[in-house]
Each structure stands twice: as structure tokens, then as C-alpha cells.
Amino acid sequence: MKIFFLCKTGHHTSLLAANYYLNHLETGNGIRIKEIPGFNDIKPKSIGTPYFVGKDDKNNEVYTIGVSSQPEIFTRVIGDYLNILGEKPENWDTINLTRITSTYTKLGIMLNYFRLKYLAAYFLGIGANREFAEIQSVISEFSNQTQARAEINQYNNKIY
Amino acid sequence: MKIIYHCYGGAHSSVTAASIHLGWLPSDRMPDNEELLNIPYFDRPINKDHGHIRFMGYDENNNEVYIVGRRNSKSVLENICHGISDIYGLTDKDVRLINVMPYVNLKMVIGGFISRRLQITPIGRPIILAGVKSSYWKFVNLVKNVKKETK
């Protein structure tokens, strides 16, 4: 299965969430964004290119994708594109995190575009920590749904 | 092979190009208004249809032809599709994305805005039809090149 975490750039909120999902995140003294590989490593022209984060304990591949400021449109594109490639819906999933992105993160992204890197990093750090609680909630819900789906499939396989 | 024509709204230029590709519109003469209005999805999609990749049909080489509206985010669409293709081991020989926006003229932009965004179809539609006819031979040439490359 392939799991796609979505946010504006694919290298901020979604990357944080993907790393948390994969248990790659140290949260002891708050989120340290410098320790997250690929965080804030964006080139505007490459937004949309899937970024491979890792595999979970069930060997599912985890990616992040930037959807710019059009999450609804590109969630449809991703779903329809996978469909026309012949991928069954049970073989992939998308988690849209664009609504979680905090104002601090958005400000940090904007400062980055103007090459004010140190100021950007300051706001991105605050943003990441502000978003974390909601990310935990989203991941928890996603994990429960995935578990429930797996149990239903197992049950159906036993019957048939 | 899958061929995806894309434009801003998936309502005019991509639909026209895809229809020429599939032989629903002529490539040796100018179509009349009725022929243009009869093609599927022409001046029909609205905002919530943007992003849906719509199947149009099979061409003479059994290639699948699709259209999609992606607003102003051409590079995001292309990056997503190419990136996902890479994940699944597909290449340009399996999927081709064709950007039709370079052939869109001002009449089509204005007519499209009036018809689709403002929903004043009686005013917008004639402007779009005039615009499509102005660029029609450019669409025909585009399709000829696409067919040459995808044989």
C-alpha cells in the first residue's frame, strides 16, 4: 500500500506528519525541525513531486506530496490518476493535512521564498510545534481506520 | 498509452483538442457551432469538476485519451503525474501530458470566465465559440504532433 500525506509544499506539515506516523520523530523537548530530513527543502517548481519518506511496519510506502493552494483539486487528480493507472483504492490512501498548517508555517514558507532563511526557520519551528497535537490526532484516527479496514478484509477473506 | 490533455478548466481547449484527436471534430475544415457544442463536456464543467481526470475515448491506436482542468497549477499537475508514474515504474511511453494552454486566446479566457465562473452562458458561450474557432488550426496542429509522437 502507498500512503500519501498532502500539504501545501510536501515538505512541511505533511512531512512532519509522515515522520510522526513512521515513528521517526523525537518529541522530547519539542519538535526540532532541523532533525527532520527534507524539512523545508523545497524548490517551488518541484511542488507536486512525491517525496519518499520511508516504509511503515507493514511495509507500506509513505510519501508526501505538495498540492500548492489547491488541495481539493489535486486530491482529485491523485485519486483519478491512480485509478486510471489501474491501482485499486485499497492499495493507496491520501491524508490531506492542508487545513492543519498553521499561520506560522505559512509565514515561514513565505519568508523562505524571499530567502529570509533564518527568520523563516524561526517561524517554521513555532508552526511545527503548534501543529503537532492536531497531527497526532489525525494520525491516530488514520491508524484506527487502517486497522479497522485490515480486520474487515481479514474477516471477509475468512468467509469467502 | 494514456494521453491527458490539460488546460485551466477542462471545459474548452483540452476538450476541443481531445475531440480532434478522437475524430469527433474535423481536422480538415472548421467545425460549426453545433458540432462544437455537441462534444462531451464542452463548456459544461464547473469549479468542483476541476481536478477530475475524465476519460474521453480510445484513438485509432487504442491510446486512452483523457482531459483535466488544473487551474493555474500546470507544474503541480505535471509533477504529481510524473512523480506517481515514477513510483509505479511508468515512463513517457505509458503516459503523456499535453498542455493546451499555450493555444488559448483572450476570447476563450474572457468567454470562459463569463460562462463558467459568472454562469452567464448566453453571453459567454458565443465568445468562447469564436475564440475556439480562432485557435482551431493551432489545436489541429497540436493534435497532429501528439499523434506523430505517440504512434
Residue of A6, A74, A88, A94 to mutate when probing chain B, most B C-beta within 10 A: A74
- How many angstroms separate the Cα of A155 from the Cα of each of A120, A159, B10, B72? 49, 6, 42, 45
C-alpha cell recorded at residue A151: 480486520
Question: Within chain B, how many helices (H) and strands (E) appear?
Answer: 6, 4
pLDDT for res A159: 60
Q: Which of B81, B69, B68 is nearest to B8 (CA)?
A: B69
pLDDT for res A18: 96
Cβ B76–A45 below 8 Å, yes or no?
A: no
The arithmetic mean of pLDDT across residues A47-71, rounded, is 95
C-alpha cell recorded at residue B89: 515504474
CA nearest to A82 within chain B? B84
The whole-angstrom separation of Cα B143 and Cα B151 is 12
Looking at the predicted structure, is the pLDDT value of residue A57 above 80? yes
pLDDT for res A35: 85
Percent of chain A with pLDDT strictly greater than 70: 97
- How many angstroms separate the Cα of B61 from the Cα of each of B2, B25, B64, B99? 11, 17, 9, 21
pLDDT for res A160: 56
Percent of chain B with pLDDT strictly greater than 70: 100
Looking at the predicted structure, is the pLDDT value of residue A42 above 80? yes
Using an 8 Å CB-CB cutoff, list chain B residues near A14: none
Q: For residue A61, what are the β-bridge partners?
A: A2, A55
Q: Which of A49, A72, A85 sits opposite B83 (nearest CB)?
A: A49
The whole-angstrom separation of Cα A83 and Cα B132 is 31
Q: Look up the pTM and report it.
A: 0.91
CB neighbours (10 Å) of residue B60? 10
Beta carbons within 8 Å of B79's beta carbon, 6+ residues apart: A46, A47, A48, A49
The whole-angstrom separation of Cα A105 and Cα A97 is 13
Q: Residue written as cell 527534507?
A: A38
Looking at the predicted structure, is the pLDDT value of residue A8 above 70? yes
Looking at the predicted structure, is the pLDDT value of residue B3 above 80? yes
What are the pLDDT digits (tens) for B38-84?
A: 999 999 888 889 999 999 999 999 999 999 999 999 999 999 999 99
Contact present, B98 and B36 (Cβ < 8 Å): no
What are the pLDDT digits (tens) for A135-158?
A: 999 999 998 887 777 777 777 766
Looking at the predicted structure, is the pLDDT value of residue B91 above 70? yes
The whole-angstrom separation of Cα A24 and Cα B104 is 47
Distance of CA A121 to the CA centre of its chain: 19
| Mean pLDDT value across chain A | 90
Cβ A65–B83 below 8 Å, yes or no?
A: yes
Q: For residue A5, what are the β-bridge partners?
A: A64, A95
Residue of B80, B86, B90, B93 to mutate when probing chain A, most A C-beta within 10 A: B80
ipTM: 0.93
